[in-house]
Amino acid sequence: MSLILAVFLLIIGFILLTKGADYFIENSASFAEEKGISPHVVGVTIVAFGTSLPELLVSIISSIQGYNDLALGNIVGSNISNIGLVLSVSTFIFYYVLKTNILPDEDANNDSYVMLLAVLMLYFFAIDKSISQIEGAVFFSLYIIYIFWLYKRTKGDEVSTDESKTSYMFLIGGLIALLIGAQLTVDSAVEIALAIGIPEIVIGLSVVAVGTSLPELAGTISAARMGHKEIAVGNVIGSNIANIFLVMGVLSLINPIAVEDFVVDQTLPLLIILTIVTFGLIRIPLNRLSGSLLFAFFLFFIYQLTFI
């Protein structure tokens, strides 16, 4: 495969990932609303799972094909992108377009503890340079427990419902587009890495990670423009939880994951610091200064990759 063709297929893969996720999220969210599920729960479950599907599919395909560096880099890089890029852009939209700040609710504060726990556990498991199948089972089990806890604490909430707007054709079509887009993204990204001589871990941390974060970005921007702060913030928190507990859990169950020294020494510590900062920031109104700080972390992350 030529470099030009690989880049073209990478773009096509990103488009399919993004549009497929858009249709999947939109119809999953409307389905949830019809069933009387609260906006925050929609954000951290339906929307978060939908926007984490690209990470899940790309990582699984990468692992099956033997590209574990690409899979691991995709997950870690996506979590950094979700906070440093997606959440920061949301704060800018709320501040400059809607003329207001984001004031996360109590549910977002509660879920931020789970997000922080997930990152700390990932670092703890990765210290020995490997994430085993047993550790993957722990991650997956914790995700199931988290969903159950979320259900229990929100059970009985009064939620208004709208008339049916769900298109099951677009729901299934979006999922198919995600599958095809994930395959194209993995294949073309690996080809580009081999052609240019860039390590797979760098491609996973940067190009693929940002690319698979585009659904989160699109979904969060859409929620922000409509003023749904619960979905905008919940999407980021829920996606970061799902990326580690669900995606990394499933990935490790398929194949044990070898962890590069660079990830343990630099990338994961950066993710921990960024998560701790976010943990503190969402307890006060998120404004343009908060967004600028988070975006600065994202720029530092991209700069950091140039030294691999």
* 8 A C-beta contact, residue 5 and residue 22: no
Give yes or no for residue 134 having a pLDDT over 90.
Answer: yes
Model pLDDT, residue 173:
83
Q: pLDDT tens across 257-270, in order?
A: 888 888 888 899 99
Q: Where are the alpha helices (DSSP H) in the chain?
A: 3-34, 39-41, 48-64, 68-81, 88-92, 106-126, 133-154, 168-196, 200-203, 209-212, 214-225, 229-241, 249-254, 261-262, 268-281, 288-305
pTM: 0.78
Mean pLDDT value across residues 57-62: 75
Give yes or no for residue 242 having a pLDDT over 80.
Answer: yes
* 8 A C-beta contact, residue 126 and residue 24: no
Residue with tokens 């993204």: 185
Q: pLDDT tens across 200-214, in order?
A: 677 777 777 777 677
- The phi, psi pair for 31, rounded to 5°, reads -65, -45
Give yes or no for residue 136 having a pLDDT over 70.
Answer: yes
Band (pLDDT 50/70/90 cuts) for residue 272 is very high
- Taking Cα atoms as reference points, which of 274, 242, 229, 236 lies closest to residue 87? 236
Map out the domains of the chain as residue ranges.
Answer: 3-157+164-305
Kindly state which CATH superfamily the domain 3-157+164-305 is placed in.
Answer: NCX, central ion-binding region (1.20.1420.30)
Give the C-alpha distances (Å, rounded to integers) separating 268 from 122, 125, 148, 265: 8, 11, 28, 7
The overall average pLDDT reported for the chain is 81
